[in-house]
Amino acid sequence: MTLLKAAQSAQKNAYAPYSGFRVGAAILGRSGAIFSGCNVENVAYPEGTCAEAGAIAAMINAGERRIAEVLVISDSASPVSPCGGCRQKLVEFGSTDVVVTMIGRNGARLTMTLGDLLPGAFSEEHLKGV
């Protein structure tokens, strides 16, 4: 299973009746295992969760702690961009050089690193010395 196939398969299971915007995310863990997730919306809108959050939860539940690579897919015209909250969630488990591939419809594709996506991230360093 490739990251792309895992994300595509997750996207098919997305529960997005309110936005109609289906997202799939796949994470390659440092062990080589792949974890995926889809967005799960809720009638109380803020309770919905992003695909990236689902993939992270699957990774942590499997005992894996570090992200090697990420791929996110949706049917947006331009490659889907992880929301700010998900960038922070990904940074918790991935270093700044982790590659994030974002895919939209018709193969639109953009590749950035986590460091590009969230420069100056709040980190454990900031908690020190308080």
Binding residues vs ligand THU (CB under 6 A): 16, 19, 21, 23, 39, 41, 48, 50-52, 72, 80, 82-83, 86
The structure tokens 């980190």 sit at 123
Task: Tell me the closest approach of the beta carbon of residue 116 to ligand THU, in angstroms.
Answer: 15
How far apart CA 98 and CA 45 sit, in angstroms, is 30
28-7-72-40 Cα dihedral, nearest 10 degrees: -110
Q: Is 52 a catalytic residue?
A: yes
Task: Tell me the closest approach of the beta carbon of residue 77 to ligand THU, in angstroms.
Answer: 14
Which residue's CB is nearer to ligand THU, number 6 or number 23? 23
Which residue's CB is nearer to ligand THU, number 82 or number 94? 82
Task: Tell me the closest approach of the beta carbon of residue 30 to ligand THU, in angstroms.
Answer: 22
CA 74 to chain centroid, in Å, comes to 11
Catalytic one of 41, 47, 52, 92:
52
Residues 108, 77 contacting (CB under 8 angstroms) = yes
Residues 122, 98 contacting (CB under 8 angstroms) = no
The residues assigned a catalytic role are: 52
